[in-house]
Amino acid sequence: MIRLFFTLLISLICVSIGAQDISQWRGPNRDGVYTEAGLLKKWPEAGPKLLWQFDGLGEGFTSAAVTTKGVFTTGMINNIGNIFALDPKGKLLWKKEYGPEWTDSHNGVRSTPLVVKDKLYFLSAFGKLFCMNCSDGQTVWTIDLVKQYGAENIQWGITENLLFDGNILYCTPGGTRASMVALDMNSGKEIWKSKSNGEKSAYCSPMLVKLQNKKIIVTIMQNSICGFDATTGNQLWKSEFRMDPDVHPNTPVYINSYLYCGSGYGLGSVMLKLAVDGNSVSEVWKNASCDPKIGGVVVVNGRIYGTGDKYRKFWCLDWQTGKELYSTRDLSPANIIADDGLLYVYSESGKVNLVEPKADKFNVISSFSVPSGAGPHWAHLVIKDKKLYVRHGTSLMVYDITGS
């Protein structure tokens, strides 16, 4: 019995460590909803305690990727992209240059690193895909998606946050030779490539939908929401989602057969229902006035929370009907994550807000102004081990949000 107890204990510890060694875009499920408990329900007037900050990241809009191996992020210095690895207290472990980055408009690095165990995966704005060792930044393998798959770079640079499942890495060249590809994470070897559908990549970071007998990759390309079979790469369906410019940076959200997508510039939000076999979708509702641009949305207790672009409002929608339940002109535009029933709203004005979504209104509990950094406040917030990670251009700030 004692031996069995210790065997189970060791197994649980190993599972816990393994789970901590994965960090991906917008949290554990790529939906902006974090799952930690015991967090502050109200911040001090000046904001939560600043534990440390790291300056000198250069230009960029990427979030922090946080695991037991460290804290990883990116930045552009003198037109060259860099990966930074910090220890849990903010000490620089290593810095690795990987090549030219985006200087045409909204200068800086776009994509947040994906960290899986001892490897880091990253896609530059020019379509260079890298696999690096977390320990020292040594490149394991690299692929040029533009050259290999005929990808054409887009107006503001490729901005995909990579998706993985098991030992497979997925990305969306949107090229003449492949719309989407699946690669072996260890070697970079191609597992499959989908036939080109004639649409470019459009800034979207895909979502994996797991059905009983099928896995589907859902992303938004130039003119449509697309579903690909994750095993074969075959495109199963598409639903028109078109506007000018072709900017669809928000990751879709999937819950119980329903798929939410939203984009800015007045295009708005749409809800699709996925067929039981995953081979088709049907439209359930549209709402043109709720158009998240780059800040994502979160779904909490059957309600969608996000901020608009054209209409500049912070809104709450009913998941089932798309009806706007309430909204406010405050805090918008912003990026949004959620944890333990509260919203963390990082406004483009430079304020981080703790917000309670009530039945009929938003209650802003606490706020603080981001003290350091430069450029637009576009990097999405991250919560890990009761710490709030806030990126503002050249600076990364880490706050203690441990509750009493």
Binning pLDDT at 50, 70 and 90, where does residue 152 land?
Answer: confident
Q: What mean pLDDT, rounded, does the chain reach?
A: 94
Cα–Cα distance measured from residue 161 to residue 257, given in angstroms and rounded to the nearest whole number: 24
pLDDT of 10 above 70: no
pLDDT score, position 20: 55
Which two three-digit tokens encode residue 12? Answer: 């649980």
pLDDT of 1 above 80: no
Length of the chain: 404
Binning pLDDT at 50, 70 and 90, where does residue 15 land?
Answer: very low
Cβ contact 339:326 at 8 Å: no
Structural domains in the chain, CATH included, are 50-159 (2.40.128.630)
Higher per-residue pLDDT: 164 or 4: 164
Q: For 59-68, what is the mean pLDDT?
A: 96
Q: What are the tens digits of pLDDT across the range 223-263? A: 999 999 999 999 999 999 999 999 999 999 999 999 999 99
Q: What are the tens digits of pLDDT across the range 87-134? A: 999 999 999 999 999 999 999 999 999 999 999 999 999 999 999 999
pLDDT over 90 percentage in the chain: 93
Cα–Cα distance measured from residue 206 to residue 179, given in angstroms and rounded to the nearest whole number: 13
Binning pLDDT at 50, 70 and 90, where does residue 386 land?
Answer: very high
Q: What are the tens digits of pLDDT across the range 268-282? A: 999 999 999 999 999
Q: Which residue has the tokens 């809009």?
A: 61
What single-letter DSSP state applies at residue 148?
A: H
* pTM (two decimals): 0.94
pLDDT score, position 404: 73
Cβ contact 258:319 at 8 Å: yes
